[in-house]
A and B are shown apart, each in its own frame.
Chain A
């Protein structure tokens, strides 16, 4: 229906405007005036219709939900995110915070357990280790007899025969028992 109205209005506007010129061209002033009134009426009507149509578009645009409103609705419809770190939240005087005591207590317990493990492991490993170490050090132990004869023994020449190195150590100063 609207296209028919718009077409009719446009044709009326063009025809009346054209006939105004034609009648003026023919010196038919009364006809030109009458058709000119029709032209003006059609012009006012078409202009009003155009303005109303544009206003209607604007009104629909304004009344339609905007994109910002859509985004806001999406945000509001989204599930609420739970606070993952409650202790970071502002302190609530009505609630008693137990995180720090639990943390300290847990630390104490873990330290005790670690001390106990260390003690058990130390006591279990010490016996074997010390025995192996004693066995290894046995070869490195000092001889029962002194490495150097005492001065009396040196003078007596005891043990020189058994230790040629001692002879070299003492040198000519040690004298020869011979």
Chain B
């Protein structure tokens, strides 16, 4: 009886975990409105490398990760906000699933000796821009 209960709990937890994982890993493409864009702010840190190459390494990581999502980096949008903090804009804007994927790709250890932390990742649609302008 005890083993049965433990088995049921394990099966329930496994099923819940699989469902949660499935929901998180869904790659459904949601059409974004025309003129939408996604702003991203990342903090990059390099280890065992010259800090001078940090922008280049970060740019390379962004170029790699944007290939995973159906969006392009807006030209000249990649700028350094401060020491090790960069921002860039993607057009068109990313839906919820693409944002998850992009956040994971940027946080992942894809480039050796480069650690990136995503500080801001937001998709702005024209309607959002109008609301902000009105505010």
Evaluate contact between B101 and A27: CB separation under 8 angstroms. yes
CB distance from B64 to the nearest CB of A (A): 11
CB under 8 Å from chain B, chain A span 8-47? 21, 24-31, 34
Q: Does B100 contact A (CB under 8 A)?
A: yes
A-B contact count (CB 8 A): 31
Q: Chain A's nearest CB lies how many Å from the CB of B21?
A: 6
Stretch at the interface among B4-12, B35-43, B74-82, B103-111: B103-111
Interchain CB contact under 8 A, A25 and B108 = no
Residue in B17, B25, B108, B110 with the greatest tally of chain A CB atoms within 10 Å: B108
Residue B83 at the chain A interface, CB threshold 8 Å: no
A28 adjacent to B104 (CB under 8 Å): yes
**C-alpha spacing A138/B89, complex, angstroms:** 167
> B21 to A31, Cβ gap below 8 A?
no
Q: Which residue of B lies closest to A32 (CB)?
A: B108
Using a CB–CB cutoff of 8 Å, the interface residues on chain A facing chain B are 21, 24-31, 34
Seed contacts A21-B21, A27-B100; 19 additional CB < 8 Å A-B pairs: A21-B17, A24-B21, A24-B25, A25-B20, A25-B21, A26-B104, A26-B107, A27-B101, A27-B104, A27-B105, A27-B108, A28-B104, A28-B105, A28-B108, A29-B104, A30-B108, A30-B109, A31-B109, A34-B109
21 contacts between A and B (CB under 8 A): A21-B17, A24-B25, A25-B21, A25-B24, A26-B103, A26-B104, A27-B101, A27-B103, A27-B105, A27-B108, A28-B104, A28-B105, A28-B107, A28-B108, A28-B109, A29-B104, A29-B108, A30-B108, A30-B110, A31-B109, A34-B109
